[in-house]
Amino acid sequence: MNQRTHIPYVKNGTLQKDPEGRKVVIEIRDLRKSFGDNHVLNGFNLRLYEGENLVIMGKSGSGKSVMIKCLVGLMQADSGYIEVLGKEVNTLDRAQLDTLRADIGFLFQGSALYDSMTVRENLEFPMRRHKEKLGAFADTEPMVLEALENVGLAHTLDLMPEELSGGMKRRVALARTLILKPKVILYDEPTSGLDPITAKEIIELMRSIQKKYNTSSLIITHDVDCARVISERMVLLVDGINYAEGTYAELSSDKDPKVEAFFKK
Amino acid sequence: MTVGQQTQRRLANRFYGAVMNFFQETGALAYFAARFFREVIKPPMEFRELLRQCYNVGNRSLMLVVVTGFIIGLVLTLQSRPTLIEFGAVSWMPNMVGISIVREIGPVITALICAGRVASGMGAELGSMRVTEQIDAMEVSGTNPFKFLVVTRILATTLMLPLLVVFGDLVALFGSALVENLKGDVSFQLYFNTVFNALGYGDLIPATVKSFFFGFVIGLVGCYKGYFSKKGTAGVGIAANTAVVTASLLLFMVDFIAVFVSDIFYEL
């Protein structure tokens, strides 16, 4: 359950497989980030394997979102090593980072749909900069429709985000995340602010998408039900470090007070 | 330490904080402007978004500028008329109104209206995009949000403001001509002939050039305040409010510099 010893998963720029035969798609080593005197991350370590659903749980303000933003270069870590799909994020220039980002989907906590654009334009937006991945003359219409059909919202194509409910917004945001067929999807509180039924629908969608596209998912949440349903492995982020790691069953039966606190009803 | 000394110390600290804050803001705004000039020449050019922003800034401010300009033309003429009659100089009305509107009142009033409408709108829009993580979402999707959101908006205000000033000036002159036509039996043709005879390049060029600067300042401040909006939804209101105040203040500073510089050229 404790953090595993480090194995050099990347050699000569290619991903090596872990002892269980899976590739490492995200690796974080000794990540540190502070805001003034507030030390949010104090040497966080993480590995996400190919096709895995990994849940990170932590209290509000524990640095989960900061960590995920460091992963995609939205924030600069103070120190530490971050590698996504075999590329060290901190050494990439803007163009290289943008290319890498085409393989990373990011579902934001509040959906983050562009208010001034229709659902169609929201979905087309990520495709503007990634023509090389899609092909210069790719017809975007079928891709948009496919992504919307995946989330059951093909009829919302020409609606504005303000005309959608909270759950629908989250599903459209998920469709936007999927549009470039990413290899890794990062979910930042995917069920926060949703009623239990809609939250369950979103979790089911996440599972079906993971199965359909064999994506690796890093899910940040403090929703225990979400973690129970979707996680293959969990990491508890406490005091800026990965305090405990294991399956839901292992962690939920742990007697450590700090671990227990997460699972108390 | 006595109560008086404590109060003095508190005031001194507050003053020091305000001065430091002023210099930090000025530095950050200058850096933001420098980033604009760096990004504006880099591809890709966001022409579609630029056109959309030009429409937003230009078309949607037009009515406000036209109505304000018309009223200012009317009022300026009505207020000046009795004094000019008293001095037997009413025939100078078109020259006086024409020059004051074209050189100063038109650009400044139009810019102030746009600062109120456009800068606050940009501050609120970008601020809300920041708070709701839309700017982050744009970044993650591989689009440079500074280029897409900021550069296009600053360019749009810079290009549209001179056009709005031209519209505002013409409508203000029309308002003035209407008063002269109704009260002084001066035909529209005679009025406009006199105005255009009175105006020279020395009046038109500085006014047009400073309108570009006004537009740049409005876009720059509106985007800066919104782009770096903090403190959640409350920050959106603060961004909109401070955008108007800062832009208005900067407009007068730019106006002073523009008049000062054009005066030097005028004397040459």
* pLDDT tens-digit readout, A122-161: 999 888 877 656 665 667 888 899 889 888 888 899 999 9
* Partners of A220 in beta bridges: A56, A188
Among residues of chain A, what percentage have pLDDT more than 70?
A: 89
Q: What is the mean pLDDT of residues B209-228?
A: 95
Q: Closest Cα to residue B224, out of B232, B216, B212, B213?
A: B216
- B132 near A CB under 8 A: yes
- B139 near A CB under 8 A: yes
* 0.90 surpassed by complex ipTM: no
CB atoms within 10 A of CB A246: 18
Task: Give percent helix, percent strand, percent coil of chain B, each to the nearest 5.
Answer: 90, 0, 10
According to the model, what pLDDT value does residue A17 have?
54
Task: With a cut of 90, say whether residue B162 has pLDDT above it.
Answer: yes
> Cβ of A101 and B140 within 8 Å?
yes
Q: What is the mean pLDDT of residues B54-60?
A: 91
User: Which two structure tokens, joined as six digits, stand for B39?
Assistant: 């990004």
Q: Given strand A87-88, what is the order of strands in its sheet? A: A38-49, A24-35, A79-84, A87-88
CB contact residues (below 8 A), chain A span 123-182, against chain B: 125-126, 128-130
CB contact residues (below 8 A), chain A span 181-200, against chain B: none
* pLDDT tens-digit readout, A244-258: 888 888 888 888 888
According to the model, what pLDDT value does residue A135 have?
63
Confidence band of A3 (pLDDT split at 50, 70, 90): very low
Task: With a cut of 60, say whether residue A198 has pLDDT above it.
Answer: yes
According to the model, what pLDDT value does residue B158 have?
96
pTM over 0.90: no
According to the model, what pLDDT value does residue A137 have?
60
> Cβ of A74 and B132 within 8 Å?
no
According to the model, what pLDDT value does residue A265 have?
64
Confidence band of A207 (pLDDT split at 50, 70, 90): confident
According to the model, what pLDDT value does residue A258 have?
87
> Cβ of A125 and B141 within 8 Å?
yes
Task: With a cut of 50, say whether residue A8 has pLDDT above it.
Answer: no
Q: Closest Cα to residue A224, out of A174, A257, A265?
A: A265
Q: How far is B17 from chain A (nearest CA, A)?
A: 19
**Which residues of chain A have a CB within 8 Å of the CB of B128?**
115
Confidence band of A222 (pLDDT split at 50, 70, 90): confident
Task: With a cut of 50, say whether residue B171 has pLDDT above it.
Answer: yes
- Rounded Cα–Cα distance for residues B196 and A135 (Å): 57
Q: What is the identity of the amino acid at A192?
A: S
- Rounded Cα–Cα distance for residues B72 and B112 (Å): 13
According to the model, what pLDDT value does residue A141 have?
85
* pLDDT tens-digit readout, B82-102: 999 999 888 899 999 999 999
Assess contact for A51 and A22: CB atoms under 8 A: yes
- B181 near A CB under 8 A: no
Q: How far is A255 from chain B (nearest CA, A)?
A: 38
Task: With a cut of 50, say whether residue A10 has pLDDT above it.
Answer: no
Q: What is the mean pLDDT of residues B249-258?
A: 94
CB contact residues (below 8 A), chain B span 76-105, against chain A: none
Report H helices in chain A: 64-71, 94-101, 119-124, 131-134, 140-150, 166-178, 196-213, 224-230, 248-252, 257-263
User: Which two structure tokens, joined as six digits, stand for A123?
Assistant: 């979905």
Pick B139's closest partner by Cβ from A74, A99, A113: A74
Q: How far is B125 from chain A (nearest CA, A)?
A: 9
Pick B143's closest partner by Cβ from A110, A113, A128: A128
Task: With a cut of 90, say whether residue B128 has pLDDT above it.
Answer: yes
Task: With a cut of 50, say whether residue A15 has pLDDT above it.
Answer: no
B184 Cβ contact list (under 8 Å, min separation 6):
B81, B90, B93
- A115 near B CB under 8 A: yes
Pick B142's closest partner by Cβ from A102, A109, A114: A102
What backbone phi and psi angles, to 5 degrees, belong to A55? -105, 135
According to the model, what pLDDT value does residue B167 have?
94
- Rounded Cα–Cα distance for residues A173 and A122 (Å): 8
Are β-strands A216-221 and A53-58 bridged in parallel, bridged antiparallel, or unpaired? parallel
Task: With a cut of 70, say whether residue A14 has pLDDT above it.
Answer: no
SS3 B18: helix
According to the model, what pLDDT value does residue A195 have?
86
According to the model, what pLDDT value does residue A5 have?
35
* pLDDT tens-digit readout, A18-74: 666 778 899 999 999 999 888 899 988 889 998 888 999 988 888 888 999 999 999
According to the model, what pLDDT value does residue B268 have?
62
Task: With a cut of 90, say whether residue A13 has pLDDT above it.
Answer: no
- A224 near B CB under 8 A: no
**Which residues of chain A have a CB within 8 Å of the CB of B134?**
112-115
**Which residues of chain B have a CB within 8 Å of the CB of A108?**
133, 136-137
Assess contact for A222 and A58: CB atoms under 8 A: yes
